[in-house]
Amino acid sequence: MFDWLTKRRRERSLAKHAIPDEQWQRALNELPFLERYDPELMAKLRELSTLFLIEKGVVSGATDGESMLEVTPHMRIMIAVQACLLILGQVADGKTVADAMSDFDDWENVVVYPGEFPQTQDFEDEYGVVHKLDEAVAGESWEGGPVLLSWPAVEAGYEESGMALVIHEFAHKIDMLDGQIDGIPPLPAAERAEFKAVIEAAFEDFCARVDADEDTLIDPYASEMIEEFFAVSCEVFFAEPELLSVEYPAYFSQLRAFFKIDPVAGTWL
Ligand SMILES: [Zn+2]
């Protein structure tokens, strides 16, 4: 009975707050890698995005001397769609959109800045030494806290910038779900061991290529740390899947299995 009531309430809420067709289409036009996705997946992605916008705040942040950015419905949708892409596969796995959204339960807001902003988080190196970095960044993802994004970096789009910043920052959120920021998403023990071995081999190979000054097709920033390799490779997995499948086929398969999506065919696994 309660389930039925909750379901009805959620359906009404989703209908009431549905993203208007014109705004949805405008966002999709700016995300051409979604063109190949099945209509069935796109319908679920739209529901997830709607629920994301009901449950999460997308608010304006300002840095010193900068005026506040007006967060428009288009900005909110662009962020919601790309964030929800990371949890879309779960819906095929028997979960409802609300269940899938529970991966995003431990935080409330996305803060959007009019440009790069000063890095707020300290950085702990491999020796446990904490550094305060005095750098401007385009994105940040806090454990148990908000995701921070520079709007111009989001707007540039993957085709133009080779970066899908929203996917990158939300990939960090997924990585953090098991309590460790280590480039390995939450997985049962046996699968985790396999994922770990495969990502470490790919990361090692990638770092060697960057060290050898190879002009890599994947952003060399991915060689900074294994968690950055994971976040950058998630961008490539969704926005340019053929590239990752050719560069690191075994790792591509691991990501496919984890996300439960075939981004080349645009279908659920
Ligand atoms: Zn990162």
Q: How many domains does the chain have?
A: 1
* CA 228 to centroid of ligand 1, rounded, Å: 5
3-state class percentages of the chain: helix first, strand second, coil last, to nearest 5: 55, 10, 35
Report whether 34 contacts 28 (CB < 8 A).
yes
Residue 195 β-bridge partners: none
Looking at the predicted structure, is the pLDDT value of residue 130 above 80? no
CA distance linking residue 269 with residue 7, whole number of Å? 26
Q: Which of 11-15, 41-45, 145-149 has the lowest mean pLDDT?
A: 11-15
Average pLDDT over all residues of the chain: 92
* CA 20 to centroid of ligand 1, rounded, Å: 32
* CA 137 to centroid of ligand 1, rounded, Å: 10
CB atoms under 10 Å from CB of 83, counted, come to 23
pTM of the model: 0.93
Report whether 269 contacts 257 (CB < 8 A).
yes
Show the domain range for 148: 18-268
Average pLDDT over residues 129-144: 82
38 is a domain residue: yes
* CA 217 to centroid of ligand 1, rounded, Å: 18
* CA 60 to centroid of ligand 1, rounded, Å: 21
- In this structure, what CATH number is given to the domain that contains residue 152? 3.40.390.10
* CA 177 to centroid of ligand 1, rounded, Å: 15
* CA 16 to centroid of ligand 1, rounded, Å: 35
5 is a domain residue: no
When mean pLDDT is compared over 94-108, 114-128, 153-167, the highest value belongs to 153-167
